[in-house]
Amino acid sequence: MLTDWRGLPVTASGNATVEAIDTFVEGLLGYENRAAVIVAAADADGESTLANAYAAMFSMFLESREAPGMAAGYIARAEAAAKHATVRERLVLDAARAWAEGDIPRAIAVGEELAASHPREIATAKTTQYHYFNLGDAAGMLRISEKIGAMNDDLPYAHGMAAFAYEQAHLLEDAEAAARRAIKLKRKEPWAHHALSHVFLAQGRTSEARGFLEDVKETWTDLNSFMFSHNWWHMALVMIDQGDSEAILGFYDRNIWGIWKEYSQDQVGAVSLLARLELVGMDVGDRWSDLGQYLKARVDDHVQPFLSAQYLYGLARAGLPEADAMMTSVRAHATTAPAFIQPVWTEVAVPLCEALLAHARGDVETTVRRLGPVLPRLVEIGGSHAQRDLFEQIWLDALIRTNRLGAAQRILEQRREASPEAKPTYGKLALIYDRLDLPTEAGRMMVRARAAALMH
């Protein structure tokens, strides 16, 4: 029988399919464009359950309401060939089918089973970790990584997976060690670069982050649009902290919003960055308008609450009437969402979206009232700590603009302690202390702001 790059049996019509499967898996793990070869391979080989199941997974990563329909044909072909498939291949099909049907708990359960019985089936482990991430379940992310770790110790990608899981679980020393292990095995390991960027951000190591990203950015070649734009997005966060915001617009158009404007992750990355730039006082020009044109298609697209919230904010900042239509659609979807996720939609996503819509339109009082109660539960909508921090920054902005200065001062001082190199924090604190009639503290913050600027 044919075998893949990890020594696992593969049912296929010939070596060409196996080579495409191997390319897909390595491309998936490395976030490279070459993962797309699985589509042609599946189209050409109706005998391969695995190739067609992987093609279905590839379709689902589009994160759009059209994706399940795109995956359906590949699942049907995989099922037709399943009588000749191995146990592993049938389980991969089961995981792909559950994902396409929206049964994420089932997809996770199968992924857990595969990680235990076939730990070298790393593509499904990767997608299972992705599902856990979208549910805000860091323990699940870590468990999958640990299940496959021993049998994949030679793979940089396995250590990259571990690094991000550790970081999301707040095990930052372990995260850094795993990321550096991955990079030692393979310098071009963009997911490990990404995980280490998260560690630096969480620990306030801004200058170190800038130096690291500047060093490894030359390896970001042939990456898919998400990974390329997202690592540049991390670079932008560092530059904002360093007070270098104006320079960001120079590469926003090329490296963050200029790659695949129709893709979900590229869209929310752009929304998040434009919002963050505005929150530190930057004029982003007419960029919301261009972004909004691509978000119009998302009005009824509710694959994940984390994505929908940002689509809505972008539509509102672009001044488009589709923002109201999407808010109505979010409320309606919350009443019909699958049982496993419905409480998150009704109790977290709806008030979050209402708060964001209000903020985008200047109704900051509504933002305070709607966003404050759900802040402790934002992890449930998915996304990383760094990504969800946008919502906390919007909350902070609303506190300041509604003159809730005592609350804003406490939050900002905590942020300053966590990230002492973040220059914008000092300016905001100086303003707040001045408005609180605390000139000594305001002056001290201005001195510290100048000192922070000299560090860069």
> Could you report the per-residue pLDDT of 315-348, keeping only the tens digit for each?
999 999 999 999 999 999 999 999 999 999 999 9
182/351 Cα distance (integer angstroms): 40
Cβ neighbours of residue 38 closer than 8 Å, sequence gap 6 or more? 20, 21, 23, 24, 51, 54, 55, 58
Stated as kind and residue range, the H or E segment containing 2 is: strand 2-3
pLDDT of residue 417: 94
* Residue 255 DSSP class: I
Whether 393 contacts 276, CB under 8 Å? yes
Whether 314 contacts 267, CB under 8 Å? yes
pLDDT of residue 455: 60
Q: What are phi and psi of 382, to 5 degrees?
A: 90, -170
For residue 179, count other CB atoms closer than 10 A to its CB. Answer: 28
Q: What are phi and psi of 228, to 5 degrees?
A: -65, -50
Coil vs helix vs strand at 24 = helix
Per-residue pLDDT of the chain (456 residues; tens, 9 = 90+): 899 999 999 999 999 999 999 999 999 999 999 999 999 999 999 999 999 999 999 999 999 999 999 999 999 999 999 999 999 999 999 999 999 999 999 999 999 999 999 999 999 999 999 999 999 999 999 999 999 999 999 999 999 999 999 999 999 999 999 999 999 999 999 999 999 999 999 999 999 999 999 999 999 999 999 999 999 999 999 999 999 988 999 889 999 998 999 999 999 999 999 999 999 999 999 999 999 999 999 999 999 999 999 999 999 999 999 999 999 999 999 999 999 999 999 999 999 999 999 999 999 999 999 999 999 999 999 999 999 999 999 999 999 999 999 999 999 999 999 999 999 999 999 999 999 999 999 999 989 877 766 665
350/223 Cα distance (integer angstroms): 34
Coil vs helix vs strand at 368 = helix
**Maximum Cα–Cα distance across the chain:** 78
DSSP 330-346: HHHHHHHS-TTTHHHII
Cα atoms in the Cβ-side hemisphere of radius 13 Å centred on 188: 12
62/263 Cα distance (integer angstroms): 7
pLDDT of residue 246: 86
